[in-house]
Amino acid sequence: MALQPVTRRSVPEEVFEQVAADVLSGEMQPGEALPSERRLADVLGVSRPAVREGLKRLSAAGLVEVRQGGVTTVRDFRRHAGLDLLPRLLFRDGELDTSVVRSILEARLRNGPKVAELAAERRGPELPELLGDSLRALETEQDLLEWQRQALKFWDHVVDSASSIVYRLMYNAFRAAYEPALAALATAMPAKVKRPDDYRKLADAICSGDPARAKKAAEDVLELANTTLMAALDSAGNRR
């Protein structure tokens, strides 16, 4: 467990970051006991209250189990953590983890068509104008990085129109993980992924209240994007 003295961020946040890094990397395995609060405070050069607060955050994130008056043990984050952990998993040692990217894209492909279907059923009167603005941006934007941001805005409107708090919160988590990776993904993504006509078909289906057509159009948009992006990432990995 290679802990370093705290010199930046808030002190509890740095405690959280250092222990979380060891848990997520697998250096600390599920069931393994952390050093005592006193020992952690000595190693990190911080106060015990700061260590205690950092451990509370780790427990809330599903990374450790803090037992009253006992030892603190590592939990299996795959079983206990939530989607808010995705941004931390997406980059490992400064490198994009393509297995996590693949998982995000797979989930997007499964959930996106259902969200589009619900949006077609529950659309509000303001939706055509909102999607129209997004479509104009997608049709005129030349920069691939900015184009991806505009695509996220398009989906923001679709998710809102689905009127599902669960899908909304899931989308928030996926977006929080995906956005920091946009710059890295843009370098691998070919320009052919920009298909504004496909987005227009999707918008038309949703705004016309055709759930089946909206679901199929969303599948077409997302499957093409996923296939293209993963092929580009696999190719980039093979060249290393």
Tell how strand 72-74 and strand 64-66 pair up: antiparallel
Tell how strand 95-96 and strand 64-66 pair up: unpaired
**DSSP conformational letter for 208:** T
Q: Which of 28-42, 62-76, 139-153, 221-235 has the lowest mean pLDDT?
A: 221-235
Calculate the CA 48 to chain-centre distance.
32
What's the predicted TM-score (pTM) here? 0.81
Specify the amino acid at residue 51. V
**DSSP conformational letter for 65:** E
**Listed ranges 140-149, 160-169, 188-197, 226-235; the one with the highest mean pLDDT:** 160-169
Calculate the CA 174 to chain-centre distance.
3
Residue 179 has pLDDT above 90, yes or no: no
In order of their start, the domains of the chain are: 11-81 (1.10.10.10), 85-238 (1.20.120.530)
The whole-number pLDDT of residue 237 equals: 58
Specify the amino acid at residue 40. L
- SS3 of 15-62: the string is HHHHHHHHHHHCCCCCCCECCCHHHHHHHHCCCHHHHHHHHHHHHHCC
